[in-house]
Amino acid sequence: MLHTTQLYQHVPETRWPIVYSPRYNITFMGLEKLHPFDAGKWGKVINFLKEEKLLSDSMLVEAREASEEDLLVVHTRRYLNELKFLFERVEGISRATIIDLDAHQGNGHERDFMDDKRVYIMDVYNRHIYPGDRFAKQAIRRKVELEWGTEDDEYLVKVERNIEKALQEHLPDVVVYNAGTDILEGDRLGGLSISPAGIVKRDELVFRMVRGRQVPILMVTSGGYQKRTARIIADSILNLFGLGLIGPESPSILAQNSDTPLLPPAVP
């Protein structure tokens, strides 16, 4: 029996490809303030973008909540296996790449897609922190393990070099980009030392390299355990917009030679 769903919706051209819901912001009688994760950072990002006159409420795409029937469709195959659901429901999607630049190893999606050759996983993470899942590492096709306190120059060169190789090895129909901000200097859980400017540049690198190959990209903002990460995420989105990497199609970006290095060669 064909499953019908209300999750898919037509998005007018007047709206931005930014999906947001106020329900993303978690509150519980003020107790959320005791947690190191800023549970309201997504609302702060949207407010920063509104202040910069980039967005208004009418320009956002609000996510629809999955019904029980929708979730059962996904769960019948594997726990929260969204990308396989995407393969089955969206025409033209048969190969995907996950670029995971959160400070922690992405062992969840790695275990989910352990034996799925359609999904190429690149993971760049602090080798010394949680979760250290050796079994899940078997699913990583391009693994970059970082040391404590890795800084901008080394980090950005490694990110660029490995994305280039990843896209050469497996050109996908879609890229899912995990843009964690727990790489920020001072994040006690991430243990790396990337500056705010370095995070903005990282996102720019990813978008330039993926968009330069005319591949759609979905960016998700995951880890980040300092209050200032919301401002950094907003600044990154503003930078991507200013460069024509998000928003209306930019001929200059699509025509760009994606084989041209974006950073000078430095770190081996």
CATH number at residue 66: 3.40.800.20
Range of the domain at 58: 19-243
Structural domain total, the chain: 1
Q: How confident is the model at residue 151 (pLDDT cuts 50, 70, 90)?
A: very high
Asked whether residue 8 is assigned to any structural domain, the reply reads: no
Token couple for 212: 């330069």
For the segment 84-128, what is each residue's pLDDT rounded down to a tens digit?
A: 566 766 788 999 999 999 999 999 999 989 999 999 999 999 999
How far is 240 from 56, CA to CA, in rounded Å? Answer: 18
Asked whether residue 196 is assigned to any structural domain, the reply reads: yes
How far is 69 from 252, CA to CA, in rounded Å? Answer: 43
pLDDT in the model for residue 253: 45
Mean pLDDT of the region 12-25:
86
Look at strands 96-100 and 142-146 and give their pairing.
unpaired
SS3 128: coil
Q: Is the pLDDT of residue 15 over 60?
A: yes
pLDDT in the model for residue 8: 76
Token couple for 192: 């790396």
pLDDT in the model for residue 125: 98
Pick from 36, 37, 40: which is nearest to 26 by CA?
A: 40
Q: Is the pLDDT of residue 18 over 80?
A: yes
pLDDT in the model for residue 234: 96
pLDDT in the model for residue 180: 96
Q: What is the dihedral of CA 178, 179, 185, 191, to 10 degrees?
A: 0
Asked whether residue 193 is assigned to any structural domain, the reply reads: yes
